């Protein structure tokens, strides 16, 4: 009797929990990561080249280049941000000081889980006696497939001015993660959010 009461109380009250993932608005779910080399003087750069397509990194659709309206919104937003920061846009062939690479990461993983526990009834099956095996149980055969997705924007600034040696230097890497980041309407806010934490990327 006391065990039953404790058990019931535990069940009833443990559902009483504030779930963090469900308590976030879309804009609160956005995470910006800014990773840059220390001591880079961006005032020393003038021209910047931004390609007209976005690199797609996806294990679902295969790696590719995108020029759809979402890609165009992102490119346009980055261009206007760089111009506002004092840089001059130029073509790739015009010896730019900096290059910007924009990638969209869209991976999806399928995972399998097997349920083995006593709480998992094999409902919807004939009892093994029906099949001529009285006293038999069921071997665990319940599989569940679930998907996890990895979505992010990855933006890199490449040094095209100081190219000694035979490798290009990435001066800065920015990542945007969160809900609805592939929604065109979110693009201005998320680009602003990312570059707000890297105010040093500026000619001004």
Partner 1 sequence: MKRAILIFIITAVTKIIFAQQGLSKISIQQSTNLPVGSLKSFVEKTSFRGFSASYQYFINNQLSVGFTGGYSDFYQKKDRQTYIVGETEVSAVKSHSLQIVPFMLTAGYSKVKEGSLFQPYANLGAGASFVNYEEWYGTLVDDAGGVKLSISPEIGTRIAFNKYSLAGMDLSVRYNFTAFKYNDVKNLQTVSFNLGIFFFARN
Which residues contact partner 1 (rule: CB under 8 A)? 1-2, 5-6, 9-10, 13-14, 16-21, 23-24, 28-38, 177-179, 193-194, 196-198
Q: Which is nearer to partner 1, 63 or 180 (CB)?
A: 180
Q: Which is nearer to partner 1, 140 or 199 (CB)?
A: 199
User: How deeply is 112 buried, as exposed, middle or buried, from its count of CB atoms within 10 A (0-12, 13-18, 19+)?
Assistant: exposed
Task: Compare residues 5 and 139 and give the one whose CB is closer to partner 1.
Answer: 5
| Cα separation, 190 vs 21, whole angstroms | 19
DSSP string, 6-62: HHHHHHHHHT----TGGG--TGGG-EEEEEE-TT--GGG--EEE--SSEEEE-TTT-
Considering the complex, state which of residue 11 and residue 139 has its C-beta at the smaller distance from partner 1: 11
Q: Which is nearer to partner 1, 23 or 166 (CB)?
A: 23
Q: Shortest distance, CB of residue 151 to partner 1, whole angstroms? A: 11
Least Cβ distance, residue 38 to partner 1 (angstroms): 6
Longest CA–CA separation in the chain, Å: 84
Pairing of strands 169-177, 31-36: antiparallel
- Sequence-distant (6+) residues with CB within 8 A of 164 are none
Strand blocks (E) in 95-141: 98-115
CB of 5 to partner 1, least distance (A): 6
Minimum distance from residue 39 beta carbon to partner 1 (Å)? 10
Write down the least CB distance from residue 153 to partner 1, Å.
14
HSE, CB side, 13 Å, CA atoms: give it for residue 129: 3
Q: Which helix (H) or strand (E) holds 72?
A: helix 69-84
């Amino acid at each position: 009797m006391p065990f039953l009461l404790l058990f019931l109380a535990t069940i009833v009250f443990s559902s009483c929990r504030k779930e963090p993932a469900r308590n976030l608005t879309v804009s609160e779910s956005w995470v910006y990561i800014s990773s840059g080399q220390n001591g880079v003087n961006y005032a020393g750069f003038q021209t910047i080249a931004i390609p007209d397509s976005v690199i797609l990194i996806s294990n679902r659709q295969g790696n590719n280049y995108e020029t759809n309206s979402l890609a165009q919104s992102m490119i346009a937003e980055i261009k206007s941000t760089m111009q506002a920061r004092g840089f001059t846009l130029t073509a790739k062939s015009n010896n730019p000081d900096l290059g910007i690479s924009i990638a969209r990461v869209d991976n999806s993983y399928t995972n399998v889980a097997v349920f083995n526990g006593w709480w998992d009834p094999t409902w919807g099956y004939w009892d093994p006696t029906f099949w001529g095996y009285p006293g038999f149980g069921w071997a665990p055969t319940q599989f569940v497939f679930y998907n996890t997705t990895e979505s992010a924007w990855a933006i890199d600034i490449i040094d095209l001015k100081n190219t000694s040696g035979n490798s290009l230097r990435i001066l800065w890497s920015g990542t945007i993660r969160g809900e609805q980041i592939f929604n065109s309407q979110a693009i201005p806010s998320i680009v602003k959010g990312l570059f707000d934490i890297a105010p040093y990327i500026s000619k001004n």
